[in-house]
Amino acid sequence: MDKDHLARTAKALVAEGRGIFAADESGGTIAKRFAAIGVGSTEETRRDYRELLFRSKDALRQYISGVILFDETIRQSASDGAPLVKLIEAAGAIPGIKVDLGARPLPNFPGETITEGLDGLHDRLMNYYGLGARFAKWRAVIDINQDTGVPTEYAVEANARALARYAAHCQDANLAPIVEPEVLMDGDHDIERCAEVTEFVLNRVFAALYEARVFLEGMALKPNMVVAGKKCARRAPPEQVAEATLRVLRRTVPIAVPGVAFLSGGQSDVEATANLDAINRIRGPWALTFSYGRALQTSALKCWAGKPENVKAAQAAFTHRARMNALASQGRWTEKQEEAA
């Protein structure tokens, strides 16, 4: 483990005014998104779409610190033969890789899942490092269902320990781990219940990381914001989201962790930006930035619609969204900036 290298990578990923682009959709997920715009999902169309995003040089040079890739993408080359990883590096961003194999049902615990992918992980990490990755990501999924008592302590503990083992493997391979315990915003729970569950989850995750001897200065946390469920009638304004989120983080996240890069978790583009901005107007002892997928590229995907003549417009839409979130990561975003676009 090269601690200096890991610490430099982690700090670079959460550098001021920049955030992480999660371009790691699975084949099934990107097929659904392509179907919504009438585009077939083939290796070529997936390559073309991601190439246009990675060639958005203003976005990557100015606002994006790192790009999380899927296994297929890290091995692909652009239309001119240049590896996609090299496009990312040339724009000044750090290539990363999603290494978990997805969430599967947890036996004997209906409605709960465990993320798989630990078997053979060391060898895969070494291979990804050789392909150019310098950080990795693993997502654990925690649902809230007040009627069934989900989440259970067992499910949270199982996922926390898997995250810790993954993080330790990453650092052994000199890849900075992004630790992603996501409390889903599906359901009808209010913001108070989300705060309660998120605090419980993060406490268990950091206890497991400590026990696994993970080097905290060489990792980043990718949590959910504390928000009400989508079906909750009482929506929380950005100021309340910010206060609740930072209260939970202060109770759970060691200051040794260099930064927190929030996932968007199903929020709309502008909602995710507004909440990030409110969080950074209060601030905390860590860098507080974004690691968005859908909330960064939805508008670009719609602009592109699979047509070569729309590439420049799609790149402009992606760059605008990246800029808005970069401003929000500094507490400098306003609604007027959205209207001026």
Q: Is 222 a catalytic residue?
A: yes
Q: What share of the chain is helix, strand, coil (3-state, %, to 5)?
A: 50, 15, 35
Exposed, middle or buried: residue 217 (CB in 10 Å: 0-12, 13-18, 19+)?
A: middle
Cβ contact 54:60 at 8 Å = yes
Residue 341 has a pLDDT of: 60
Of 98, 112, 199, 222, the active-site residue reads 222
Contacts for 4-8 with beta carbons within 8 Å, 24 or more apart? 5/174, 6/171, 6/174, 6/176, 6/215, 6/217, 6/218, 6/219, 7/215, 7/217, 7/218, 7/258
User: Under 8 Å CB-to-CB from 232, ≥6 apart: which residues?
Assistant: 187, 188, 189, 190, 191
The answer to whether the CB of 129 falls within 8 A of the CB of 170 is: no
> Could you tell me the residue range of the domain that residue 272 belongs to?
3-339
Per-residue tokens: 58 = 């203003």
Q: Which CATH number do you get for residue 17?
A: 3.20.20.70
Mean pLDDT by 10 residues, the chain (341 residues): 97 98 94 95 96 95 98 97 97 97 97 98 98 98 94 98 98 98 95 98 98 98 97 93 98 98 94 98 97 96 96 97 98 85 60
What's the rounded Cα separation, in Å, for the pair 144 and 97?
Answer: 28
pLDDT at 340: 63
Catalytic option among 25, 51, 112, 180: 180
pLDDT value at residue 146: 86
Predicted local confidence at residue 92, as pLDDT: 94
51 catalytic? Reply is no
How confident is the model at residue 235, as a pLDDT?
A: 87
Q: What is the rounded CA–CA span in Å between residue 113 and residue 11?
A: 31
* pTM for this model (two decimals): 0.96
- Note whether 287 and 301 are within 8 A (CB): no
Question: For position 336, what pLDDT does the model report?
Answer: 82
CB 36: neighbour CB atoms within 10 A? 11
Q: How far, in Å, CA of 294 to CA of 269, rounded?
A: 8
Count Cβ atoms within 10 A of the Cβ of residue 339 and give its class: 0-12 exposed, 13-18 middle, 19 or more buried. Answer: exposed
Domain count, the chain: 1
Look up residue 328 and give its amino acid.
Answer: A
- b/e 56-78 (16+ beta carbons within 10 angstroms → b): bebbbeebbbbbbbbbebbebeb
**How far from chain centre, in Å, is Cα 232?**
24
One-letter amino acid of 142: I
Residue 221 three-state SS = strand
**How is residue 52 written in tokens?**
């246009």
